[in-house]
Structure 1
């Protein structure tokens, strides 16, 4: 037991030392943010723990060096007077502020060997953050607005949308950002006209057709594509999607029968044990000793299986409406199997295994209609169609 405790203590110490060494290496190589984060994570668990004392020293050093380097970087960017630097300046001020806010709840951080508290020269970045955010907001708004006006293709509209979206995140309510963001989004969309073609000799259930063409149910993670199964006259469609059902095969209704003969030894009362002289044996209390009697029972088990299948196959084809070129096509197929088992018997039911007994409680059921079979096959088809839609990529232009 003592050896185990010693081993665990050495292991914990080695892990702690390893963490400190990695943090020190991060400081030495200029990866100050990593060093600060690792130190804060350890100190937030227990800032007074003796083994965490090195993290206080490393946090103090990394914070000082990181602040100096980042402020020098900001000075360089501001002196360069390039508006493209506004985002980096804003993010750098914000990061410096956030680091300070993470350290403050832990203060004071006592260095026991040195008899002092760790020292952190905090700055007030609030005004700098607000000023840099204003500069960045003006820059983003002007750039995105100009791109919205001069856009030559949907890629430009999408870039303008991204810029307006970012602007709305950092500065909600700025000018008419939301209106322009909506405009850029609408103009950046790809519109796909959807046509469903029935090339089979069967009637497609109206409910299935409605669900196949209801793109809301697919949960598509595609920001820039809209599918319309009812084309609108005022929209210039970019692509066409053709969902063609080619074949529907429905099997005849089948009922098959299988007979199984079961035989089993079962208890059938008891008898008294006797010795070789024919006398009844007794136990130590004088009671007659009983012995189970067994007999062989037989049962004819008749299992019936109702079976009906439906197979639906088709093709999904995507076409670029500008040049009338086919982009891609995918086979689409699905199958639904209706199977129902029930049984009856004659003979002694005790011969049957337990897993066969429930079938005796069941009887024949009506077969589903052809329409229901096609609809049920379509349930799987919807999942396959979703996979195709997720896979299909349209090139913005």
Structure 2
């Protein structure tokens, strides 16, 4: 472990054995060597970071002092210890003031850096400022009375707000329920810490960073159509019996003296007349992804939703016994009134909404 530079793991391994009372000389020697090398490495790192004179280094300096303090407390558990009659005991250093100083300076840096980032007035800068303000609060909240307000402001300004809406470019007028069905989108899995989706109508579009609009462009409703089809069914059924006659016209007998009879068949015929009713409605649309600042269309994608009314009824002429079982089921169906155009278009909302949601999800990478 020491050869690999894993000093703290070597220290932890040795201490575990020493606390259990089964450490040998090599374990103790490993602890001593690893402890000295780890401290030397960290102290040199701190010296270098301070020599650079960069305010952003104070966070790393604080982390390194924390590591030194944590390591010292860990090793203190087994002090003093002996190796071949020699007592090992390390001087204890008070890191409290060094930790306090570096922590305060790290907090001051993140506070100042966050405020500088806010001046850029960019989403990415607001988000970075938010993280800096959180660190400043974590390290020294009491030093910054306005820190919570700055965190809230950076969060608000760094968040991307996306409005999902529906527009109607046709002359058709739809009830509010029509739009509600199209906007019944599940946004779970779309949102993140920095992206917030709002689904609704009649919202002020200038408040949003992106608009995702389902634009209804065309409505197609087919005429009410009827079609007929005739199918003839034939079935051979048993119809009594007849005697078997010999060449002289006499009834033949079997070995027991009984008359020989054979089944007699007849053919049944029936004509099945099916009447099919058909009507379709389709809503053609496109999804437009618009970035508001700078104003530009990121993508357009076409989609549609269709509803179909299909109904089959039937009547029969002839002997019903010739019909198949499924034919008899059709005979039970009566012709139905055609649904009106609005009902058909309302039925289009579900497939259209599903296609809309799929497009929004597959293009979530456009929003950031």
TM-score, normalised via structure 1 length = 0.55
Greater C-alpha radius of gyration = 2
| Aligned twin of 1:221 | 190
Matched, 1:368 2:339: yes
| Aligned twin of 1:47 | none
Separation in 1, partners of 2:258, 2:105? 104
Separation in 1, partners of 2:105, 2:212? 40
8 A Cα contact 2:273 2:314, kept in partner: yes
8 A Cα contact 2:113 2:132, kept in partner: no
Indicate how the Cα distance of structure 1 residues 270 and 230 shifts in structure 2: closer, same or farther if over 3 A, else same. same
Say which SS state the counterpart of residue 393 (structure 1) adopts: helix
Matched, 1:207 2:186: no
Q: Which has the higher helix share?
A: 1
| Aligned twin of 1:49 | none
Mapping for residues 346-365 of structure 1, pairs under 5 Å = 346-365=317-336
8 A Cα contact 1:343 1:360, kept in partner: yes
After superposition, what is the alpha-carbon deviation per residue over 1:47-97, rounded to whole angstroms, capped at 9, x for unaligned?
xxxxxxxxxxxxxxxxx9xx99x999976885545745959x99xx9xxxx
Indicate how the Cα distance of structure 1 residues 311 and 264 shifts in structure 2: closer, same or farther if over 3 A, else same. same
| Aligned twin of 2:358 | 387
8 A Cα contact 2:244 2:252, kept in partner: yes
Matched, 1:265 2:222: no
Separation in 1, partners of 2:325, 2:252? 39
Separation in 2, partners of 1:313, 1:190? 29
Report how far residue 221 of structure 1 moved: 2.0
Mapping for residues 1-397 of structure 1, pairs under 5 Å = 78-79=42-43, 80-81=45-46, 83-84=59-60, 149=115, 150-151=117-118, 152=120, 153-158=122-127, 185-194=155-164, 196-215=166-185, 217=186, 219-223=188-192, 224-227=195-198, 228-232=200-204, 236-266=207-237, 268=238, 270-271=240-241, 278-280=252-254, 292-390=263-361, 391-394=363-366, 396=368
Separation in 2, partners of 1:274, 1:143? 117
Separation in 1, partners of 2:352, 2:36? 60
Separation in 1, partners of 2:133, 2:213? 35
Superposition CA RMSD, Å: 4.9
Indicate how the Cα distance of structure 1 residues 244 and 395 shifts in structure 2: closer, same or farther if over 3 A, else same. closer
Separation in 1, partners of 2:268, 2:106? 88
8 A Cα contact 1:272 1:280, kept in partner: no
Aligned residues: 281
8 A Cα contact 1:205 1:371, kept in partner: no
Any unmatched runs of 5+ in structure 1? 1-29, 31-63, 94-136
Separation in 2, partners of 1:278, 1:145? 119
8 A Cα contact 2:224 2:338, kept in partner: yes
Report how far residue 351 of structure 1 moved: 1.8
Indicate how the Cα distance of structure 1 residues 182 and 212 shifts in structure 2: closer, same or farther if over 3 A, else same. farther
Indicate how the Cα distance of structure 1 residues 353 and 279 shifts in structure 2: closer, same or farther if over 3 A, else same. same
Indicate how the Cα distance of structure 1 residues 71 and 142 shifts in structure 2: closer, same or farther if over 3 A, else same. farther
8 A Cα contact 2:111 2:132, kept in partner: no
Indicate how the Cα distance of structure 1 residues 395 and 335 shifts in structure 2: closer, same or farther if over 3 A, else same. closer
Separation in 2, partners of 1:162, 1:300? 80
Report how far residue 379 of structure 1 moved: 1.1
Separation in 2, partners of 1:281, 1:344? 51
